[in-house]
Amino acid sequence: MPIPPIKLEKAPSNSALYKELLIKADLSIDGIDIAPEASQALGRIKHQEQVHSGFEMDLETHVGREHPSGFYLPSGLKTSFRWSRRSRYSIVHEGGEFLLSRRGENLFPIRFFEQPKYYNLKSSDGIPLKNIATFVHDSNISVFYSNECNYKEKGEDCLFCNVNATKDTYAESEGIAWKTARQAAEAVQAAYAEGIADHVTITGGIISERREIEYYQDVAEAIQARLGVRDFNGTAVIAAPLDLTNIDRLKEVGYRTIALNIELWSKDMYAAICPGKARNSGGWDHWLKAIEYAARVFGFGKVRSNIVAGLEPKPYTLEGVQWFADHGVVCLPGAWCPNPGSGLEGHRTPEPAWHLDLAERAFRIQKKAGITFEQVHDASNNDLGLAKDIWKIEEGRPFLPYGGKPPQAQAVTEAPVA
């Protein structure tokens, strides 16, 4: 059915934030290159680097080549760095500034994400904390504990997912391995103590149900012991359990929120794109049953189920967002990136305006249902996506330009004399 037109509170053509947001959406699809002189200059400043804790989100793999995790646009919007040598966009370094360029035309200065202090620390068994917990901004960290998915063994990987391919590519160079409960707790303690985070998401590939639930319990108890608190503001991302009482167990052990990501609303496309989820964990119908159950256990606004936006027609996704909102479930459709190593590598995601329009519509649906920004924040770790930006813009929430710093050139130290 046709999608009715909508009116934005702030028309994109008249809003600096929306204009930048459209560029951000374009960057997430087209990717971005970095000029050699900019790469050299970047190597002389402290910045948050990429860590392949779960997925390769660049459009090309780059073993042995370090990339930044992302940067700030002038109005304070944050965007991930997704490398592509074929992109129209590039980062250049001129006159002491890092600049975003498109087809050779400089658009505006940018500033790279600052490196968290805990990235320089190691766990008690010698593992860099940055390889255990990734800082994903807006006071969130993410522990991707399992860098593989059991569906690989059956040839049933979700076609958009590259978690297994990422491990195969970077396991040796980056030491990708299972994160223990103690390692996770030490990383959370360090990030919380630094004052940059107050929310942790525990996530990973699909593993056996019993092993998954037991691990999440161990992690919760280890974090509580480290922090000396019961409520550590944690989100448990799990597969739909066949035994729904396992959801109760996660609430009882101290998780504030839970996530069961449906991925696609179209049941037929779900079966084709997510064969492992469709044939295991009870299938699509059971996932919805589990999500409804979780909403009753955890409460309104404390359950999340994401959809990979761009794999199915927009009306399907919006129907899903509406169903979730009606059940008090947060849904942040994230723009699909055809990741390298995934079954859909080389395909195309919809144009930027498509994703921006979807994110704006999803915001309106959830806002009308009574879901709040605070609930969206606590239930998600998608803080670099368009969905959270829309919430902030439409509610007049502040963006801190350049991470709270004035828009000036990022200091670059002189290259050492040979």
Provide mean pLDDT across the span 182-186: 98
Residues 330, 388, single domain; the answer is yes
Residues 48, 106, single domain; the answer is yes
Provide mean pLDDT across the span 391-414: 73
Q: Does residue 70 belong to any structural domain of this protein?
A: yes
Provide mean pLDDT across the span 314-324: 98
Tell me: pLDDT of 401 over 70: no
As a whole number, the mean pLDDT across the chain is 91
Residues 46, 157, single domain; the answer is no
Residues 215, 334, single domain; the answer is yes
Query: Binning pLDDT at 50, 70 and 90, where does residue 176 land?
Result: confident
Q: Does residue 418 belong to any structural domain of this protein?
A: no
Q: What residues contact 45, with CB distance under 8 A and at least 6 apart? A: 112, 410, 411, 412, 413
Lowest mean pLDDT among 125-129, 150-154, 247-251, 410-414: 410-414
DSSP character at residue 114: P
CA pseudo-torsion sign 251, 253, 254, 259: negative
Q: Could you give the angle at which helices 209-227 and 181-194 cross, rounded to 10 degrees?
A: 40
SS3 307: strand
- Tally Cβ neighbours within 10 Å of residue 178: 12
| Amino acid letter, residue 355 | H
Residues 198, 86, single domain; the answer is no
pLDDT digits (tens, 9 = 90+) for 5-14: 333 344 444 3
84, 114, 144 - which closes a domain: 114
Residues 147, 272, single domain; the answer is yes
pLDDT digits (tens, 9 = 90+) for 327-371: 999 999 999 999 999 999 999 999 999 999 999 999 999 999 999
Tell me: pLDDT of 136 over 70: yes
In percent, how much of the chain has pLDDT > 70?
93
Q: Would you list the DSSP string of 119-146?
A: GG-B-TTS-BGGGT-EEEETTEEEEEEE
Residues 292, 353, single domain; the answer is yes
Domain coverage including residue 66: 30-114
Better-predicted residue by pLDDT, 76 or 310: 310
Phi, psi of 144 (to 5 degrees): -95, 95
Provide mean pLDDT across the span 294-309: 97
Q: What residues contact 4, with CB distance under 8 A and at least 6 apart? A: none
Buried b (16+ CB within 10 A) or exposed e, 349-377: bbebebbbbbbbbbbbbbbebebebebbb
Residues 241, 368, single domain; the answer is yes
| Tally of domains within the chain | 2
Tell me: pLDDT of 381 over 60: yes
DSSP character at residue 49: B
